[in-house]
Each structure stands twice: as structure tokens, then as C-alpha cells.
Amino acid sequence: MSIPGLAVFYGGLVRNKWIVNTMLMVFTGFSVTLVVWMLWGYNMAFGQLSHFGPTGSFWSGFIGHATPLATASSEQGQTVSGANTLIPFHFPTATFAYFQFTFAAITPLIFLGGLVGRLKFKAWLLIVPLWITVVYCVNAALIWNGGFFAQKGAVDYAGGFVIELSAGVAGFVGAAIVGPRRWQDRENAFPSNLMMTAVGAGILWLGWNGFNGGAVFYAGTNAASAILNTNVSSAVGLLTWIVMDMYFSRQKKATFLGATNGMLCGLVSITAIAGFVNGIGAMIVGFVSSALVWCSWNYLSRIRPFSQVDDALGVIHTHGFAGLIGGLLIGLVSDPKMAVYGTTGRTFNGPGGFSVGGWFYTNSFHQLWEQFLTALWVAAYTAVGTAFVFYLVKFLVGGLRESDENLALGDIGIHDEEAFPDPTFGEPVGTPSHLHNDNV
């Protein structure tokens, strides 16, 4: 999903002169996160929790120990994590660590979409490790590793809050701090290659099957349901956006970019709830998220503060808002018969059953309330943590923006490369391509 999915998807969405810069940021962000994950990130997010306060308090389940995955036993030993409180894992730490790394890595790559076209490359190389450490690891420990919000009953199946909402907020806050693109780039923000955008979108949709299907940590009925629900929600989200474009937009026309936005809304929103909802619920999730995000994209973006921030690829809408909607819908449409954890059987001996019930099935708003409090924390803490990281990096590298000259030149000025160089460059006079261009 990250490589090549987001690299190709974002590369197709930006202008020609920013393709190399965008793709290189995706590749480097992915690589930097893996190094951080091995040295301290994994154990901060999924290792033994550091008890800075009494058991049951917020500070007792805030973060893990910042220790590396550095020994044979730490990689090859059986996974032990707060995430397996109800599931006895039967695979090595290396398997779990790499799977969770891919979740961690894609998060800053998502919020990169709000920053393309002006962020200094060396600043990005510092932002990623600091943000993973300060923001991502904390949210993951609190929600996924048996931390405070997990103890309160909040759930997030595969990252609607930890990944999507956090990335949307970070992209928006980061864009506000870095400042807007050159007006010429904003006014001429045409996709460089819709075919590459389609390839990237297809890879993302395909990869989301592993994204959500693997989040239960076992192959079985719930994994199968999560995968089916993921695709159903995405299909409904795509169709909803297209229909709204056809009937409610100014142009009254279906667009491919609109289809990809609807697809993302369905995929992002179902991420938090994929294994907790039945098929009809998945359709509701795709429809509601796509319809609401369509409204935010077309109307909310015109009012402050959204109209004042140059969120280049709209990550606050398709990721932030869609992730929030999916996470909150857990409290409404989750089906308690979609049991996720703890069912005993011939090959499983868990401590008991566990499932999630929304208001439609339980007549209780308790789950919705816990989801709301968790979302409030993720949005607020991510905003503050992101601002801290960006201002710190701004101080360390002497500014967050590329020079005016580099902003005008793009890839050539920053990396001395082009995605589509002139084929006659450096060719001797008299070659067929040279003669052809002369004739043209």
C-alpha cells in the first residue's frame, strides 16, 4: 500500500514537476519509519507498558519502554503484547512487529498528501522519526496495546483512529504551519497522470484486504468478514460520491478523481469497524462516510479554518473525517453477533468471548461515548504533538519550506531529476528524435 501504492497514487495526483519529490518522500518515509520501529518504536507502541501511575490510571497505560528489537530472542520469541490480551498469539515477534510497522509507516505517508509541493526534503527526514515517536507510538499504545482507552472499552479494528484520523489531523496542522504552495501551483494543480493515479488507487484497494483482513491476527471467519466488508464499503463509497457529483456538483458530471475520493472514504471509514459490522452495516458505513465527506470537501472547505489551509490533496477530508466517521459508527452499527475475540474451540483456548455492540443492537450509547472520548484524544493530542514536531524541525533545519527558486523548479531544483525528462536531452545532433523535434 505504501510502496508502490501511495507513491504511484500521489505521484499521479501532483503536478509533473513534483512527482520525483513526492515519490522520494514516500520511499524515504517508509524506510525511516522501519529504522525507528526497530530501534525503539515497536516496543514503545506494543511492548511492556511503562507504569508512570497507579494501575488503571491514564499514565499507567500511556506508552511502552523505548527499547530495540535487537536480540535473537526479541525477534524470534513468541509475540507477547497488550494486543493479545484475548488472543494467545502463536507467531514470533518479528511477524507481529513487521505487520504493525506497515501500519506505522503508512501514517506519515498519508499526511504527506497535505504537504506536497513545498516541504523541505531534509525537514521531512526529521519530521517522520519524531512524529512516529511523539504521536503514533502513544496513540497505538493507548488504543491497541491495552493502554488507557483500551481498558475503558474503546476499539479500533485496523486504524480508523490510530492511523486515519491521526494522519488527517497531522496533514492539516502541518499544512497550516508550513504554509501554502505557490499560487501558480495551486491554480494549476492538475494531476500529472490519471492512469498512474488509477494504478495507485487499485493497489491501495487491493492492499486494504491485508490491512483490515490481517488486523484480527488469525485467518478465520472474522478475517473473511472483515475483507468482504472492506470491499463492500469501498464500492458503496465510490458509487455514492459519483452519484452526488452527478446530481449535486456544479458540473453535474461524474469524475474519476471523485470516484477515487469515494473509494478512499469507504476504505478509510470501514478500517475502524471492519470486523465489528455485518454486510448491511458495511454498506451504511460506506454510504454515510462518502456522503458526509463529499459535503465537507465541497462546502466545509469554503469556510474557515479549512479555507485558510492549503491541504494539497485533501487528507483532512478523505482520511481525517472519514476515519472519524468510521470510528464513531462503531458505537451505532456494530453487530454483537460478529464475535471477534475469545471464542473457545478445538484449536483455541481463550479467556472468554468478546464482541462489540452498537446502539442499533443494544439500545446503549456506552460504546459511542467511549469512541467519542478516544477520538477527541487522538485529534487533540495529534494536533499538539504535530505542532511540536513541526516547530522543532523548523528550528533545527532553518525553515520548513524549500527556497523560492526550488519551489519554482520543483524536482529539477531539489533532486536534479525529472519524472519525464526530455528524450532529446544530451543526444547528438542528427539523431532521429532530434530531427523530429526540429521539424515539429
- Rounded Cα gap, residues 222 and 335, in angstroms: 12
Alpha helices in 50-111 (DSSP H): 72-76, 93-111
What pLDDT does residue 92 have?
92
What pLDDT does residue 264 have?
98
Sequential pLDDT tens for the chain (440 residues):
999 999 999 999 999 999 999 999 999 999 999 999 999 999 999 988 887 877 777 888 889 889 999 888 888 888 888 766 667 788 899 999 999 999 999 999 999 999 999 999 999 999 999 999 999 999 999 999 988 999 899 999 999 999 999 999 999 999 999 999 998 888 877 899 999 999 999 999 999 999 999 998 888 888 999 999 999 999 999 999 999 999 999 999 999 999 999 999 999 999 999 999 999 999 999 999 999 999 999 999 899 999 999 999 999 999 999 999 999 999 999 999 986 655 455 544 555 567 899 999 999 999 999 999 999 999 999 999 999 999 999 999 999 999 999 999 999 999 999 998 876 555 555 555 444 444 44
Sign of CA dihedral 299, 305, 310, 311: negative
CA dist list (Å): 405 to 56, 124, 269, 413:
54, 19, 40, 7
- Cis preceding-peptide flag for 305 (omega within 30 of 0): yes
Give the largest CA-CA distance in the chain: 80
**Residue that has been written with the C-alpha cell 465489528 in this structure:** 276
CA dist list (Å): 329 to 274, 340, 377:
11, 17, 17
Domain boundaries, the chain: 2-60+97-415
pTM over 0.85: yes
At 412 the three-state DSSP class reads: helix
What pLDDT does residue 436 have?
47
- Rounded Cα gap, residues 208 and 422, in angstroms: 36
Tell which residue, 146, 141, 139, has the closest CA to residue 161: 139
What pLDDT does residue 79 have?
86
For 134, the grid coordinates are 511523539
The CATH homologous superfamily of the domain defined by 2-60+97-415: Ammonium transporter AmtB like domains (1.10.3430.10)
What pLDDT does residue 426 have?
54
